[in-house]
Amino acid sequence: MPEFTAKDVQALRQSSGAGMMDAKKALQENGGDAEASAKWLRQKGLAKAGTRTDRDNSQGTVAVSHIGLAAGMAELKCETDFVAKSDQFASLVQEIATLVAIEGTDAAAKKADAIDDMKLVLKENIELGRVVQMAAADGNVVDTYVHRQDGRGVLGVIVELAGGTAELAHEIAVHIAFTKPAHLSREDVPAAEVAAERE
């Protein structure tokens, strides 16, 4: 039988988020090697996580990050509001939004392993939703707004404004979040919609 101590089990539990019996079994299966045990737990956990992909993940959190003339927004989806409101979940979606603001939407893929790790720890179907980056033209201003409900971001807005101030851009972002307009200007509204409203 491989030699390991209760401290080894505890250390593996803390680093992996696995339960006590799972950590003990992993150490037994891998001759007490902590690194191999962590890898073993990850492989077993991801196999289990794969069975969760059909579960509805209609909850989640939205985060925005505004850095200079660029802004990024990310949506991370999960199954329960309990997970969506957790600090761990909010921190990850904020990291993704910041990465997107700096490097663009493709950079969100760099957090795939972190999302997989969170699936294992929280035992939910967690996936990246929509991601958006806006890089403003020189001379324009960008501002953002996140509408929060029950302690989490549920709606995000990014506004680029030519010939205005950051304060005005922020006020417009708040207004957009409140009214949820479907079109940018009157000219963008299809004639059929106008006719239907006039009836």
- Supply the range of the domain harboring residue 149: 59-187
List the CATH number of the domain containing 41: 1.10.8.10
> Please, is 6 exposed, middle or buried when counting C-beta atoms within 10 Å of its C-beta (0-12, 13-18, 19+)?
exposed
Whether 173 and 85 share a structural domain: yes
Taking residues 37-54, what's their average pLDDT?
Answer: 65
Band of residue 17 on the pLDDT scale cut at 50, 70, 90: low
- How many domains are there within the chain? 2
Give the H/E segment covering residue 154: strand 152-161
Whether 113 and 19 share a structural domain: no
The answer to whether 161 touches 145, Cβ cutoff 8 Å, is: no
Neighbours of 47 (CB within 10 A): 9
- pLDDT higher at 43 or 94: 94
Q: Which of 116, 170, 181, 166 is nearest to 146 (CA)?
A: 170
Band of residue 48 on the pLDDT scale cut at 50, 70, 90: low
Residue 47 confidence (pLDDT): 47
Whether 179 and 90 share a structural domain: yes
Whether 108 and 165 share a structural domain: yes
Whether 115 and 46 share a structural domain: no
Whether 65 and 126 share a structural domain: yes
pTM value is 0.72
Band of residue 11 on the pLDDT scale cut at 50, 70, 90: confident
Residue 56 confidence (pLDDT): 65
DSSP string of 42-76, one letter each residue:
HHHHHHHHHTTTTS---EEEEEEEEETTEEEEEEE
List the CATH number of the domain containing 98: 3.30.479.20
Taking residues 4-18, what's their average pLDDT?
Answer: 78
CA distance 153 to 148: 4
Angle at alpha carbon of residue 110, lines to 142 and 30, rounded to 5°: 150
Whether 44 and 64 share a structural domain: no
